[in-house]
Structure 1
Amino acid sequence: MSQRLHLITRASAIASIAAVALGLAACAPAAQDDLGPLPSDGRFDDVTVRISAIADVYVQGFKKFESEIADELGITMEFDVTPPTDAYTKDMLEFRSGKASHDIVLLQPANLADYSAYLHPLDELADELDLDFDVDDIEPVYNDVYTSWAGTRYTVPWDGDQHNLFYNVAAFERAENPEAFQAAYGYELAPPTTWEQYRDVAEFMAGFDWNGDGAQKYGVAEAWQQGGYATWWWTNKFGTHGGVWFDDEMQPLINSASGVAALEASMEIVPFTPPGSLNFGYPELEAALLKQQVPMVIQWSSTGKAAEDPAVSDIVGNVGVAMVPGVELGDGTTTVRPALPTGWTAGVPSKAENAAAAASLLAWISAPDRALELAVDPKTAIDPWRASSFADTEAWRAAFDQSPDYGEAFIAVQSETVDTGMPDLQIPGSNEYLNALDRQIIAALAGEKSAQEALDAAAKEWDAITDKLGRDTQLAAWQAQADAMRSIGIEYEPTWAE
């Protein structure tokens, strides 16, 4: 079976998560409110669309086409940048008060269950306004999981997030480095494919001047900032150690051997990370690689674009990309379950003053040609999500015209990651579960608790959240998600943590 066909099969199975599992607990769709000014021949009469973004790089995505949007649609844009760690709380407080200060909001798909009661159904807007979102060209995993709840589409993808391993090629190939590593560890220095190798490389590089410039070096960095980051980076290890979120009775598996092994793998690399790593978010982690503070990072794919941008990177032409590490099993194979964390989408609040203009703007900017332009542009930090964007290998080679082979490898790794990745927990209350787990992981990374103590405490909090939201409802949602994950080969594999 081809990789593309396998991806479609996998994503079609995941679709039942959105249509069945998530639908079991979904709120009723919001009623269509006044759509605000309507277009004449597709153009508005000087309407300002207010956009709640979560990063300046996402703002740049909209601004990339600012003049065309003004000329063709008659729309100007205003932006507020709400940090990703604060966006959910801010939006929910506002929505529950019956207000919407923005016409477009960016949200994490894992939170779509909670957002759905406060967003316009996007297909209804498309029908009413004669818009085309080219949904057949959206990768199924994004189309069916990221944008729909209970069979209703509420959002369009904005950023097809996933985690990849990026590394400084020279750090691995500089003549004296492989020789010293071989002498210390007894095997060849290479980008790590297992978590044991990941730790060894981090330890070695932290005590070695791997680029010969005499500056202080560290071995690795991860993003552990409070607000979800620590959990997202732990998820890479949790999935590859065979973990899933709950068992068949809705008992948390985060404190299983899989979860503990994953957290211990994170705790082991803490001594090899730069000072302040517990406060690293996306920008700090990216800078650690691009400014040669560390030789490798697991990061969102957009870092792979920034690494080849001479305006921000000191390692242009020296970047490698690979799959996130896994666990070597007894038969010699290595597990592959990288995280697919966040994956921002764009929706139109039901109380938005300019809903028609907002929907028209989203349809215009998400068209296949513009989606590809945004995906290859290093200034946007937007990862591909359309099938046509993944398929256009030549566009990626051209995007990295100084390193076309890297461009081809870059999109190939992303395709494999989408094919094998571990989805976020996608049941009602996901944000609450995430934050409870995140706090405990950070406590362990800070040395305040053992891995088992931290995850036992998190599991206790998860049980309380489940009881509060309704155990029967949550169990029904999880069971359907678990069944869909099993059908694509993702199920609890406790032996992977042995």
Structure 2
Amino acid sequence: MSRFVCFAFSLITLGFTLGCPKPEPPVVEQPRPAGPFKLLVLDDAPLAEAIEREWQAREERSLELEQSTAAELLKSDKVDADAVIYPPQLLGELIARQWIEPLPADLLDNEALDLADVFSSVRRMELDWGSETYGVPYGSQTLVLMVRPEVMEKLELEIPETWEAYQNCVDRIAASEFCTGDAPQFAAPTLEPLAEDWRGKLFLARSAAYAKNPSNYAVLFGLGSVDPLISQQAFVKGATDLKKIAQSIPADLQALLPAEVGQQFLAGKSALAIGWLSPKSQANEDKLEFTPDFAPIPGAASYWNQLIETWEERRGGRAESVPLLTASGRIGSVSRSTHNAQDAALGLILLSATDSATQVSPASGATTVYRNTNIGGITQWVDPRLSSEGASTYGEAVALTLSSAEAINLNLPGADQYLKALDAAVTAILAGDAAPQEALEKTAIEWNAITDKLGRDAQKKANSASLGL
């Protein structure tokens, strides 16, 4: 079955899910303290401003909102607030420091929290730790494939199911009239987020489908030993693929973040792109002259079996897309400093519930829809130049991605340290300063040193908990 047919079938299934809108669920009414609700928001001034507006519109109780950065928080000794909203990559770090606590068990079936409505991968990869739920969702951006359908039709190309097919599309577009001649239509056949502090995440997103297989939970670190797997052949191939694709992107477009990729794609700079859309746009810009298509990022029909150290075909030769979560987004957790965990959780839930989601989450460039019931309002999360048809297709691609059973994450304690080492390796690979195998073997050594410094036994437990085991 082709990816297009699978994609269409999934959308039909999703359509049935979304076909019957739910009534807006109320926050469970419980006695609330008279004092202010103290909330800390990290690295997101626009989200903090939207939270203040929404709180004032819904609550008589005062809100004491403080803004800070993750870097500043990690220099302190606690979360000095009732609750904190932060990037999901920090979940393991905050748990390891014992600064946050699980949501009260009796609120997990709260109708306003409505965890069943949250995309399954968001809950599993970003909100849960082991058997407990620590996070309240506010949305997580995810990479999607962006396509100019008229280009694909002219060149008789199909939306690629695999990274190999994607590279073939890029090569065909690069050699076509669209990118050659005296007046090429596009500056590049494709664009990807190659900004210095995003290269490592892009590399993981591209390699994941080669590394994830039906017989393993662990992709980045071994379960039994927490030894890094980053130098295995799945990642070497991912690095080789990335280096080849980077060579097709002009130097002046190789420092883009995912949202900037989306903006440049909509501006007509490329025929394909791997990135995401944000609601930001110039006020004087008109509607687009084309309707882009969107799909989950490509995957792979074969994977590296680390147990027997060989490449194997997936069952039926079916390509699998493996999303990377925790690369962006915002979640909220109850602080151990609070005097009332129940109230702190309810405060977070109020700002995340279905009827608040469209007022709060779209303000942040790090978030997108996170509930099935909010797909109908996807236009509030994307560039306003996009047509309703284009916005709907984008929302469907996001929903499928964030509902994938194959998603991976990186939210261990020290995640920022692991990613910093990986960014350096990917930079060296792209610059031609090191071969993929050499660079990734060095990264594995550095990752082992980070693990030893943080405590191997503790990281082993964290790795299992991060995977939901």
TM-score normalised by L of structure 2 = 0.73
Q: Does residue 409 in structure 1 map to residue 379 in structure 2?
A: no
> Which residue number corresponds to residue 296 of structure 2?
323
Q: Cα RMSD over matched residues?
A: 4.3
> Which residue number corresponds to residue 389 of structure 1?
374
Task: Give CA deviations for 1:414-437 in whole Å, capped at 9, x if unaligned.
Answer: 333222442213443333222222
**Superposition deviation, residue 109 in structure 1:** 2.8
The question of whether the paired residues in 1 share the 8 Å contact of 2:134 and 2:333 is answered with yes
Q: Distance in 2 between matches of 1:314 and 1:397?
A: 13
Q: Distance in 2 between matches of 1:290 and 1:442?
A: 27
The one-letter code of the counterpart of 2:200 is T
**Superposition deviation, residue 269 in structure 1:** 1.2
The one-letter code of the counterpart of 2:398 is Q
Paired residue secondary structure (1:198): helix
Paired residue secondary structure (2:270): coil
Task: Give CA deviations for 1:79-123 in whole Å, capped at 9, x if unaligned.
Answer: 6474xxxx3x332112x3x564x6654323343122124544363
Q: Does residue 362 in structure 1 map to residue 330 in structure 2?
A: no
The one-letter code of the counterpart of 1:299 is G
Paired residue for 2:43, among 51, 54, 58?
Answer: 54
Paired residue for 1:246, among 198, 202, 221?
Answer: 221
Q: Distance in 1 between matches of 2:230 and 2:145?
A: 24
Q: Does residue 430 in structure 1 map to residue 415 in structure 2?
A: yes
The one-letter code of the counterpart of 1:169 is P
Paired residue for 2:434, among 429, 449, 453?
Answer: 449
Structure 2 unaligned residues grouped into runs of 5+: 1-8, 15-28, 213-218, 303-312
Paired residue secondary structure (2:41): strand
The question of whether the paired residues in 1 share the 8 Å contact of 2:45 and 2:67 is answered with no
Which residues in structure 2 correspond to 1:26-175 (within 5 Å)? 51-55=40-44, 58-59=47-48, 61-62=50-51, 65=54, 68-69=57-58, 72-75=59-62, 80=67, 82=69, 87=70, 89-94=71-76, 96=77, 98=78, 100=80, 105-116=84-95, 117-121=97-101, 123-124=103-104, 133-149=113-129, 151-173=131-153
296 and 471 in structure 1: CA distance in 2 versus 1, 3 angstrom threshold: same
Task: Give CA deviations for 1:59-98 in whole Å, capped at 9, x if unaligned.
Answer: 46536636514xx33445756474xxxx3x332112x3x5
Which residues in structure 2 correspond to 1:170-319 (within 5 Å)? 170-173=150-153, 177-178=154-155, 188-206=156-174, 210=178, 217-227=187-197, 229-243=198-212, 244-247=219-222, 248-300=224-276, 302-303=277-278, 315=288, 318-319=291-292
Q: Distance in 2 between matches of 1:448 and 1:477?
A: 34
> Which residue number corresponds to residue 459 of structure 2?
474
Q: Which has a greater percent of helix?
A: 1
421 and 230 in structure 1: CA distance in 2 versus 1, 3 angstrom threshold: farther
Q: Distance in 2 between matches of 1:483 and 1:154?
A: 12
63 and 171 in structure 1: CA distance in 2 versus 1, 3 angstrom threshold: farther
Paired residue secondary structure (1:413): helix
Q: Does residue 336 in structure 1 map to residue 321 in structure 2?
A: yes
Task: Give CA deviations for 1:251-292 in whole Å, capped at 9, x if unaligned.
Answer: 322111100000111100112223244532234222221222
470 and 196 in structure 1: CA distance in 2 versus 1, 3 angstrom threshold: same
Task: Give CA deviations for 1:279-332 in whole Å, capped at 9, x if unaligned.
Answer: 3223422222122222222224x44x669x986676365121112112244664
> Which residue number corresponds to residue 459 of structure 1?
444
The question of whether the paired residues in 2 share the 8 Å contact of 1:290 and 1:313 is answered with no
> What percent of counterpart residues are identical?
21
Task: Give CA deviations for 1:435-491 in whole Å, capped at 9, x if unaligned.
Answer: 22222112212222111111111111111122223334433554676795xxxxxxx
Structure 1 unaligned residues grouped into runs of 5+: 8-38, 179-187, 485-498
**Superposition deviation, residue 359 in structure 1:** 5.0
Q: Distance in 2 between matches of 1:445 and 1:430?
A: 22
449 and 336 in structure 1: CA distance in 2 versus 1, 3 angstrom threshold: same
The one-letter code of the counterpart of 2:101 is P
Paired residue secondary structure (1:298): strand
**Superposition deviation, residue 50 in structure 1:** 5.7
Paired residue secondary structure (1:272): coil
347 and 337 in structure 1: CA distance in 2 versus 1, 3 angstrom threshold: same
> Which residue number corresponds to residue 424 of structure 2?
439
The question of whether the paired residues in 2 share the 8 Å contact of 1:166 and 1:321 is answered with yes
The question of whether the paired residues in 1 share the 8 Å contact of 2:79 and 2:99 is answered with no
The one-letter code of the counterpart of 2:427 is I
Task: Give CA deviations for 1:365-396 in whole Å, capped at 9, x if unaligned.
Answer: 21122225656x58766322234435xxx555
